[in-house]
Structure 1
Amino acid sequence: MTAKIKVLVIDDSALVRQILTQGLALDPAIEVVGSAGDPYIARDKIVRLQPDVLTLDVEMPRMDGVDFLRRLMPQYPLPVVMVSSLTQKGKQITLDALDAGAVDFVSKPTTDMAQGLKNMLQELRAKIKMAATANVAHWKADRRAVTSQLRTIERRALAESTDKVVVIGASTGGTEAIRKIITRFPETMPGVVIVQHMPAGFTRMFAERLNQLCAMEVKEAVSGDRIMPGRILIGPGGLHMEVTRSGGHYQVRCEAGPTVKGHCPSVDVLMHSAARHVGANAVGVMLTGMGSDGAEGMLAMRKAGARNIAQDEASCVVFGMPRVAYELGGAESLVSLDHMAGRIVDLLGERKI
């Protein structure tokens, strides 16, 4: 019999702790081993109860979830699913939490509380089971050493690459992976388009945060935005993003549509469009994430002449999307996250094998 996933619920509200505990208990694969009203109590219970996964409220008194994560992860890395509010402050703290090591998040309902709560608990149960498989061991490394390596990539000459497009797909764990890669890109880099699985309202803030860190311009995409050297476009939450060609340049189209592989925006949608319109001028990159979104689109890109790589298992939080992309034949090779930016730059100057 498979062991149950042991969960510790951390929230300052006794009512929320009760709701989460009862809601998680509906899944026979999950066992709530305890709850805590603040991070100080949680710290002692983590050592005593040894949970597999934490659920953590974003906004708490005494110490918020982000400060707690920054102290916890280097010492005692555990998969954490944040419980987030959809307020502006809540979104900002949620992105801080992902930067600090949280695997994923769910949003508290704001309308139709009964149905919204049911949907949130269903999503939380699914993400806890995913989080239980996540690799968070790398957070025990010296974070200062990692930070000091940002932008150390050699600024190679990108001659004859201005018509190239870098196409990146990511899901669980992707916000940190994307940050590590694109902060190493020089401002002369060809245009980059990214789909990161994230709800509407979060992608704009994600783009704005990255824009403060990168040599390149980073923005949430809108239909008609041109893909050009020095610019990174993030697909907006709730809309599919496609690459199109208009005369002598590439641009994006962002439109509502049904979910693909359970997602909107979908990596498959983006990569299929890159296969059609960019072909051999594209470099495809598949980063950490659960499921198979993007694998078929990446294969179409490769058949159209693109050079494609995927993140290796050791550096992934969840080795799902990269694994499927590689096994299906869409990705030529698996590359560690630390070497990803350099490999992308190399591929921009190479021809297809």
Structure 2
Amino acid sequence: MTIKVMIVDDSSVVRQVMQDVLARHRDIEVIATAPDPIFAMTKMKANWPDVLLLDIEMPRMDGITFLKQIMAERPTPVVICSTLTERGADITMEAFAAGAVGVITKPSLGLKDFLQDSSADLVSAIRAAGIAKVGRLRTLPRPQPSGQTQERMHAPKLTADAVLEAPVGKSTHLPTTEKIIALGTSTGGTQALEVVLTALPRTSAGIVIVQHMPEKFTKSFADRLNTLCEVEVREAQHNDRILPGRALIAPGGKHMVVKRRGAQYYVEVVDGPLVSRHRPSVDVLFRSVAKAAGRNAVGIIMTGMGDDGARGLKELHDTGATTYAQDEASCVVFGMPKEAIDLGGVNEVVPLDRIPAVIERHGR
């Protein structure tokens, strides 16, 4: 199946370079480009795209306004093209809240070379968006990056062995009164995590999260969720304690590893190669939780494209942790949960709206 793409960006250089990059891939066809949303809407009426690649700051109408209009009239997968700045990250969080399913980043300088170098990220984002079921985003209840692009293009697909050793056998940890909840997600995850975290009480068990997202964006994402949730949500820092009522989100561009010191759990934020072509990687997080907590942990894999987290969840399962996968009906992309189910690492498959209750039950 060919994915029909429209590029909406006020920079003619961006439009041309993206068009050239995408033209190299047989499964992607750029059907039109436009310098702003007004021109785009006229062209879309004649030939509606499968995926919209959308800049945020444009003349006549900004990308957020246009995105909201599209999602209200005819929900369509949208990938945001955002600048690598704090303001760009904040606006991108607004775009995710409005229904965008992905983000690619661009610098303010060296744009042409950067876009060519980051072609793997661009193509991956388009393909993920092409299978995303964005209509599901409208039913949800409500109250990816520059440092990795060259690596992702040329590096082999590494496992979590590149960062830490695998656990061996069943967990030997004694049961504790405190559980660790480990969540892993990707495409569609920003909206899904909002559904889950906003439903939790401040007495919830401590939570560690990997959401595939570029550097600088995870802090804005965590800060936004923190304003909406009873639990404290923050971007993880090295040696942060995992505590009841706190959710730690792995920073973009770093791996997050859970460790245990006595009866206390904490995280280390570490460098390392891409694992399952991601950093942070869900596989790395889940493996570290399996080693540090074992049966004192709960692992949950949620919506996302690819297989990152599937092996790690199986390792959690095999050490005695309780494991869950989000069901296909509520996923925007069923890739990651399906891979985990197929590996035999899932105790139970649950819909998104039941995940908060699962977390509360294990946290008591």
Matched, 1:128 2:126: yes
Q: CA deviation at 1:13?
A: 2.5
The superposition leaves residues 296-350 of structure 1 with CA deviations (integer Å, 9 ceiling, x where unpaired) of: 111111111111111111211111111111111222122111222112223445x
Determine the structure 2 residue equivalent to 1:64.
62
Number of equivalenced pairs = 333
2:115 to 117, 121, 136: 117
SS at match of 1:123: helix
**Greater alpha carbon shift after TM alignment, 270-279 vs 118-127:** 118-127
Q: CA deviation at 1:274?
A: 0.8
Matched, 1:138 2:133: no
Q: CA deviation at 1:88?
A: 1.7
Give yes or no for contact 2:51–2:76 (8 Å, CA) kept in 1: yes
2: distance between equivalents of 1:344 and 1:337?
12
2: distance between equivalents of 1:36 and 1:340?
41
The superposition leaves residues 146-196 of structure 1 with CA deviations (integer Å, 9 ceiling, x where unpaired) of: 236xxxxxxxxxxx9851111001111111111110111100011110011
**What aligned pairs does 1:222-261 form with structure 2 within 5 A after superposition?**
222-261=237-276
Matched, 1:287 2:302: yes
Q: Which amino acid aligns with 1:311?
A: Q
Seen in structure 2, the aligned counterparts of structure 1 residues 140 and 182 have a Cα distance that, compared at 3 Å, is closer
Determine the structure 2 residue equivalent to 1:38.
36
Structure number with greater CO (CA < 8 Å, separation at least 6) is 2
Give yes or no for contact 1:283–1:348 (8 Å, CA) kept in 2: no
**Greater alpha carbon shift after TM alignment, 14-23 vs 126-135:** 14-23
2: distance between equivalents of 1:78 and 1:114?
27
2: distance between equivalents of 1:162 and 1:206?
30
The superposition leaves residues 41-83 of structure 1 with CA deviations (integer Å, 9 ceiling, x where unpaired) of: 2223222202111110021122221121112113201111111
Q: Which amino acid aligns with 2:39?
A: I
Q: CA deviation at 1:238?
A: 1.4
Q: In angstroms, what is the RMSD of aligned CA positions?
A: 1.8
Q: CA deviation at 1:291?
A: 1.1
Determine the structure 2 residue equivalent to 1:75.
73
Q: Which runs of 5+ in 2 are unaligned?
A: 144-174
Matched, 1:187 2:202: yes
2: distance between equivalents of 1:80 and 1:312?
23
Determine the structure 2 residue equivalent to 1:320.
335
Q: Which amino acid aligns with 1:173?
A: G
Give yes or no for contact 1:194–1:235 (8 Å, CA) kept in 2: yes
Length-normalised TM-score, structure 1: 0.89
Give yes or no for contact 1:162–1:228 (8 Å, CA) kept in 2: no
Q: Which runs of 5+ in 1 are unaligned?
A: 149-159
**Greater alpha carbon shift after TM alignment, 78-87 vs 18-27:** 18-27
**What aligned pairs does 1:1-353 form with structure 2 within 5 A after superposition?**
3-110=1-108, 112-141=110-139, 146-147=141-142, 162-348=177-363
2: distance between equivalents of 1:209 and 1:15?
32
1: distance between equivalents of 2:26 and 2:311?
33
Q: CA deviation at 1:122?
A: 3.4
SS at match of 1:226: coil
Length-normalised TM-score, structure 2: 0.87
Runs (4+) off by over 6 Å: none
Q: CA deviation at 1:14?
A: 2.9
Determine the structure 2 residue equivalent to 1:156.
none
Give yes or no for contact 1:307–1:347 (8 Å, CA) kept in 2: no
Q: Which amino acid aligns with 1:192?
A: I
Q: CA deviation at 1:114?
A: 4.8
Determine the structure 2 residue equivalent to 1:154.
none
